[in-house]
Amino acid sequence: MNTKVARAGLAAKTTPKKRPAAGFVASFGENSIAFGMLWDRIMGAKVARSVIIKAAAKYSAGTYVVLPANDGKRSIGLLADTAGVEKGASKKSASSAAALLALGYPGIENAAFGVELPNRKIGFIGFRAGAPLIGFDRVVSGEVLSELVADFLKEFDEQSAPTVQFHGTTHIFPGRTVEKFDGEWFSAVSKKALVAARVRRAKAPTALLMGVIFAAAAAYGAFTYYEHQQASAVKQVKPVAQNPQALYVKSANEYLSAVAAGMLTAGPMTDKINRLPMFHQGWVLEKASCTPETCTLSWNNAAGGTYQSFASSALPGLPQFQTTYKEGMTGLETSFTVKNNAPKGFQMEDLPKQDQFVLFFGSQAQEMEKAGLTIRLDKGAVVAVPTAPAGTPPITESTLKEVVVEGTWKMTGDWTFYQALASLPGNMTVDLLEVGITGESMAMSVTGKYYVKK
């Protein structure tokens, strides 16, 4: 493809009137480069994961890139799901053109870049103060290019007006001197730059999340039906004095009264994790471990932090926390309380049959594994078997008509799947949520218990 480009100077004011939703991923040698990303500027040196996820949902964008802080703000770029892809390019391994230029083009400050793309399209990228200018990472046709450039020029006053022309056409920047830039620059950028500008997954695939919700809804419907059936049956059976099954139900309900549904307790934990900073005063967050009551954060001073720098500034959103300094002066831990008001208590009659649970939730877990979210259900054991009254035969599992089985489960996958926790069936708990952080990547491991009737 012909990829001649020119750059221009810039300064400040408005944004263009219209913003197309779709971008385009083009092939430059062996590199896949994304144009037409949606940009925003976020105040502060840190960007909460929840901000990225909400922005991705708002713009129907599956991937994003975050640029380093600039003038106290960070730039977030989102690539729409509807972005086109040139044959030979890959949306999964694409690097943002705007991010590459911002990170690696020498002397970039106020500038505009234009690149010829397939199908007679043009990628146009504008910068101010070294950051992508909102509304000016665009993929347009030649027919609207003049209008786009006119909008771009409105961003400048007379002293800082652009001094270059675009694609060598004198009518677009009339009277300006020309400085040319060959678009094949994108073919020769370093692997390190490509990785730094690479788009990352912003959310779990919509189909998968819908599958999780559908499975939970289907399972809940079946469980509710069974609950009403069982309740009717219970009403028709008169209690028998010292009946082993009646004694077991009483014991099981006492045991289950301390249990809280994971779909309720997980929310406060995930909300806290989504608001945590990845970096704090030279310290890097490596791991977050949360129970329904407490979260512990592990920090490493790889970014040059000291104990004093950490202690001198409160963690955002955490007015009260305790800090433990590790030996070796390489790390520290902070702990804080999770406010969790989820109601506790199951009743045995509310629980699904073991076969029902495996049929609905177990089957969906097998489907989710294809998308990268692994859920394992371990074999359970009977709980709450009471002691028989004096002078009566011992109560054992074999003497009971129905028992409660408590088993453990584990979920592992990318943090973008965390919303699946809100769709767990009501007979499952979340006891420990761990998130490991490596750069911009977050992986979670969730463990808990499930309760069924057998």
In tens, the pLDDT along 198-242 reads 998 875 444 444 444 444 444 444 344 334 444 444 444 444 446
Written as tens digits, the pLDDT of the chain (454 aa) is: 444 444 333 333 444 444 444 799 999 999 999 999 999 887 766 666 667 777 777 777 888 898 886 767 788 899 988 888 998 899 888 999 999 998 888 777 777 788 888 888 888 888 887 888 888 899 988 777 777 777 877 776 665 554 443 444 444 555 455 466 677 889 988 888 898 899 988 754 444 444 444 444 444 443 443 344 444 444 444 444 468 899 999 999 999 999 999 988 998 898 888 888 888 888 888 999 999 999 999 988 876 788 888 888 777 767 678 888 776 677 889 999 888 888 888 889 889 999 888 888 888 788 788 778 899 999 899 998 888 888 888 888 888 999 999 999 999 998 888 888 888 888 999 999 999 988 768 899 999 999 999 9
**Same-domain check for residues 321 and 363:** no
The answer to whether the beta carbons of residues 345 and 330 sit under 8 Å apart is no
Backbone dihedral region for residue 409 (phi beyond 0: left; psi -120 to 50: alpha; all else: beta): beta
Q: Residue holding tokens 């300064």? A: 11
Cα maximum dimension of the chain:
107
**Same-domain check for residues 320 and 429:** no
Give the model's pLDDT for residue 195. Answer: 86
**Same-domain check for residues 60 and 130:** yes
From CA 411, how far away is CA 413, in angstroms rounded?
Answer: 7
The pTM score is: 0.52
**Same-domain check for residues 46 and 104:** yes
**Same-domain check for residues 179 and 277:** no
Domain range for 444 is: 206-259+344-453
**Same-domain check for residues 48 and 171:** yes
Domain boundary among 170, 201, 232: 201
Give the model's pLDDT for residue 212. Answer: 44
Alpha-carbon separation of residue 451 from 259, 353, 448 (angstroms): 10, 9, 10
Q: Is the C-alpha dihedral spanning 182, 188, 193, 199 positive or negative?
A: positive
**Same-domain check for residues 193 and 234:** no
Give the model's pLDDT for residue 289. Answer: 95
**Same-domain check for residues 426 and 318:** no
Burial of 38 (0-12, 13-18, 19+ CB in 10 A): buried
From CA 336, how far away is CA 268, in angstroms rounded?
Answer: 12
Residue among 10, 416, 400, 440 at smallest CA distance from 244: 400
Burial of 221 (0-12, 13-18, 19+ CB in 10 A): exposed
- Residues 89-99 have pLDDT tens digits of 998 889 999 99
Domain boundary among 151, 177, 201: 201
**Same-domain check for residues 10 and 138:** yes
Q: Residue holding tokens 């804080």? A: 336
**Same-domain check for residues 174 and 281:** no
**Same-domain check for residues 146 and 227:** no
Give the model's pLDDT for residue 412. Answer: 94
Number of domains in the chain: 3
Domain boundary among 290, 322, 337: 337
**Same-domain check for residues 141 and 278:** no
Alpha carbon 392 to chain centroid, angstroms? 57
Give the model's pLDDT for residue 126. Answer: 84
Give the model's pLDDT for residue 85. Answer: 92
Direct distance between the N- and C-terminal alpha carbons of the chain, in angstroms, rounded to an integer: 66
